[in-house]
Structure 1
Amino acid sequence: VQELEMYSVGHTLPADISQNDLLNIIRDLGADAKIHGILVQLPLPAHIDQETVLAAIPLEKDVDGFHPINVGRLAMKNRAPLFVPCTPAGCLALIDASGTKIEGARAVVIGRSNIVGLPAAFLLLHRNATVTICHSRTQNLSAVVRQADILIAAIGKPRFVQADWIKPGATVIDVGINEIPDATKKSGKRLIGDVDFENAQNVAGAITPVPGGVGPMTIAMLMQNTLTAAQRAGDLIA
């Protein structure tokens, strides 16, 4: 953020804040011409309706890409959203950087969340991949995964995807962030992904590590969306 000469401010709010008070804060931020991007840390407390809050963010400042209109446009053909959700956008950027051809590829997305799985599937579909979305009710999951030229794992289960599930040479994007005990670390724990990286790296043609893979790309896409918002507002020269 500092290198980009961007200014950010956080609002740390009590867990028992009312929905109306939260909406008023968002409206005030939305009315401030100096602010180009607004994002709300999810999940929200149970007494607050997430969709109402996300819909209150001005569309042109929805740098997370979670406004219902942006979500809907992403799901439609030839209706590009103003902003694409950051983690899925980062996944596609990593696939492109690996040199993997998306058009015509068979892509499998494990996970169907609104934050990663579903938007990632739509992005791949818009790039003319043949996409399969897998979830907790998918039958013969390993057999489905073995067909994937491109695999995105976003389920939140440590080392869930085994090396022998992966098609040799496939491109694997691991979105999972899971804490496991590790006595060798000062904190007593470490982060791993949804894929058994140590073994899968010997099979995959390209694979992202955890940490240090999708996470930094998510931040990069958030910065890109914010810069785009400033440019659209006329406050940034391309």
Structure 2
Amino acid sequence: MQLLDGKKISGQIKEEIAGEVKKIKERGEKVPHLAAVIVGTDGASLTYVGSKVRACKQIGFDSTLIDLPEETTEEELLDEIHKLNTNSDIDGFIVQLPLPKHINEEKILTAVNPDKDVDGFHPMNVGKMTLEIPTFLPATPFGILELIERYNIETSGKNVVVLGRSNIVGRPVSILMSQKRKAGNATVTLVHSRTENITEITKKADIIIVALGIPEFLTGSMVKKDVVIIDVGITRVKDSTKEKGYKIVGDVEFDSVSKEASYITPVPGGVGPMTIAMLLKNTLLAKKRH
């Protein structure tokens, strides 16, 4: 069994981007500028946005963090998005999800300029992705593809099972894995909460991508020998034996599944770091386009 080390690969990608930023500076050009908007005080979101800002500094990007209070209205948030859309200094920006319940996420995401949508969530970019027209790919699915490619895992003709049908991970990665690309050309089955006999499906899979948000859902008895496992989930679970009172687990029961797998992502340190690296890659792409 080999770990798919997202921390190591994301570090390589950041070094590559930092090299390009150095050349941009040497030419006297403006360096890429990523902005992030966060509304409220969700702990996981604050941690994630903070890591994005640190990553920007690490590779030489400019970054802006717009931190808005929980009671921010939808109109006020739309006004902030309009400012970012029209600010020529900003190459790309993200609106951190989830948003407070009184704000319509769909309305906010569609207000983002598609040319600055480095999260790849705008319907125009999702449509381009589906039609295989060059565009910003959603950061987490993009990171999964990159991880698979850099470990030279064969996907052509393989049976890939995706657990979860969210618009952020499950659905886009199922589309991308079926397309004509290096980490693609696979036969893809999308499994969700209404799927019957899930174990029968997962036991036939050569590659399983798990993005359900259910801690340790996939167990060793549900997979075949030498399966490749990509675990997107990350959840805090109470654990009195730990100093902090909790442990971080994925959607895969690591101990039992790792005994069967040929490759598996750890949690943390697998897909998470790749998501941030691909967000930076999309921002560099946005800078080049502008």
1:208 pairs, out of 265, 272, 275, with: 265
1:46 alignment counterpart:
101
The CA distance in 2 between the partners of 1:98 and 1:7, in whole Å, is: 31
1:79 aligns to 2:133 (yes or no): yes
User: Counterparts in 2 of 1:109-188, with a 5 A limit?
Assistant: 109-126=162-179, 127-188=184-245
**Offset, 1:181:** 1.4
Preserved contact between residue 149 and residue 171 of structure 1 (Cα < 8 Å): yes
Counterpart secondary structure, 1:39: strand
State the one-letter code of the partner of 2:133: R
Deviation digits for residues 46-102 of structure 1, max 9, x if unmatched? 2222122111111111000001101122223x333x200011111111222232111
The alignment's TM-score, normalised by the length of structure 1, stands at 0.93
The CA distance in 2 between the partners of 1:203 and 1:94, in whole Å, is: 20
Preserved contact between residue 75 and residue 122 of structure 1 (Cα < 8 Å): yes
Counterpart secondary structure, 2:66: coil
User: Counterparts in 2 of 1:15-94, with a 5 A limit?
Assistant: 15-76=70-131, 78-80=132-134, 82-94=135-147
The CA distance in 2 between the partners of 1:184 and 1:60, in whole Å, is: 48
The CA distance in 2 between the partners of 1:68 and 1:16, in whole Å, is: 27
Counterpart secondary structure, 2:61: coil
Question: Considering only aligned residues, what root-mean-square deviation do their CA atoms show, in Å?
Answer: 1.2
The alignment's TM-score, normalised by the length of structure 2, stands at 0.77
The CA distance in 2 between the partners of 1:185 and 1:60, in whole Å, is: 45
Preserved contact between residue 90 and residue 217 of structure 1 (Cα < 8 Å): yes
Deviation digits for residues 23-47 of structure 1, max 9, x if unmatched? 1101101111111111001122222
Counterpart secondary structure, 1:168: coil
Counterpart secondary structure, 2:83: helix
1:7 aligns to 2:7 (yes or no): no
The CA distance in 1 between the partners of 2:249 and 2:82, in whole Å, is: 38
1:219 alignment counterpart:
276
Counterpart secondary structure, 1:155: coil
The CA distance in 2 between the partners of 1:98 and 1:143, in whole Å, is: 27
1:96 aligns to 2:149 (yes or no): yes
What stretches of structure 1 of length at least 5 have no aligned partner? 234-238
1:197 aligns to 2:250 (yes or no): no
**Offset, 1:230:** 1.0
Greater helix share, structure number: 2
**Offset, 1:204:** 0.7
**Offset, 1:168:** 1.1
Residues paired across the two proteins, number: 231
